Amino acid sequence: MEENLKLDNQLCFRLYTASRLLTQVYNPLLSEYGLTYPQYLALMVLWEKDAMPVNDIAKKLFLETNTVTPLLKRMEAEGLVTRDKSSNDGRQTIVRLTQKGYSLREKLSFVPDKVGSAVICETVTPETVPALFKMLDDIILRLKA
């Protein structure tokens, strides 16, 4: 068999597996608050800048609007956000945090450290994380192009 067709030689498989396992680390931390990992990501976007159009949230998450909209609808039903038509452009929907959504910021402030400690190992250290971010950012930019 050709070496390039072996599963162990696939970068995509390693990235997929790491992503799946990392999401498993998040699940018990977030489930106590009734959140999924994608909802947590959407909250993080809104904690940085509240009152954003759906399109901007989707871009920030590298997702399509039609993927983000159902997610935000569920979050609205759970009282985490509100969704209203823009007064400037009726085609845009503006998403805002509710008090409940905003209050989760402080409650979940422990999550990054908890997840960070789960991935620290011999080669991934606090000192090497910036280089890892750069490599992953480079891959994302290349694939996005």
pLDDT in tens for each of the 145 residues of the chain? 689 999 999 999 999 999 999 999 999 999 999 999 999 999 999 999 999 999 999 999 999 999 999 999 999 999 999 999 877 777 889 999 999 999 999 999 999 999 999 999 999 999 999 999 999 999 999 998 7
Identify the helix (H) or strand (E) that includes residue 29: helix 11-31
Please tell me the distance from the alpha carbon of residue 32 to that of residue 91, in angstroms, as a whole number: 35
Query: Structural domains in the chain?
Result: 33-111 (1.10.10.10)
User: What pTM did the predictor assign?
Assistant: 0.92
The neighbour count for residue 6, using CB atoms within 10 Å, is: 10
**What's the token pair of residue 60?**
């920030």
The pLDDT score that the predictor gives to residue 131 is: 97
